Structure 1
């Protein structure tokens, strides 16, 4: 049973890695103000990432016009991913 849980944690960690890449794309695309966010692909990227980013936007005000909330959002994802990887090792060691 422990290896199955370890595998599920691994899948979750990989999913967070993919989400981190999508989030990075979203942040980089904000540097291009002329993009059509009505485009289905861009709209989907925005719909998937904005709820997560909005959590941090509510906590951290912009500093000098720069939105630093994305940095904290990336750090939070990295922390969660690291904790998942560490717990995954625990489940495999228990087996």
Structure 2
């Protein structure tokens, strides 16, 4: 059971890195540092968008408009932090691993 919990924590950690990559890439698009017409860049963006948009879209729908600022990744980071803390500290005690 501990291996399953550790794997879930690792998947959440990887997802944080995917979110960070998506945020950085969106900034690079905004400031015209990278070209969206580049085939490799477009492919990476499609993958990142496919991985993050299903999680971010419902949160964006709940948050009020912030004038162009997207705060949904911050909410996702907070949720991931909570889940990682819960899995690492509280859940093992609840199911009797400690």
TM-score strictly above 0.5: yes
Given candidates 45, 63, 73, the residue that maps to 1:70 is 73
Are the equivalent residues in 2 in contact too, given 1:6–1:88 (CA < 8 A)?
no
Aligned residue pairs total 89
- Gaps in structure 2 of 5+ consecutive residues: none
Match for residue 82 of structure 2? Answer: 79
Write the distance in 1 (CA, Å) between the matches of 2:26 and 2:65: 15
Give the alignment's TM-score, normalised by structure 2: 0.77
- Gaps in structure 1 of 5+ consecutive residues: none
Match for residue 27 of structure 2? Answer: 31
1:75 shift after superposition? 0.6
Higher relative contact order (CA 8 A, sep 6+): 1
Given candidates 50, 57, 70, the residue that maps to 1:54 is 57
Root mean square deviation, CA, Å? 1.9
Give the alignment's TM-score, normalised by structure 1: 0.80
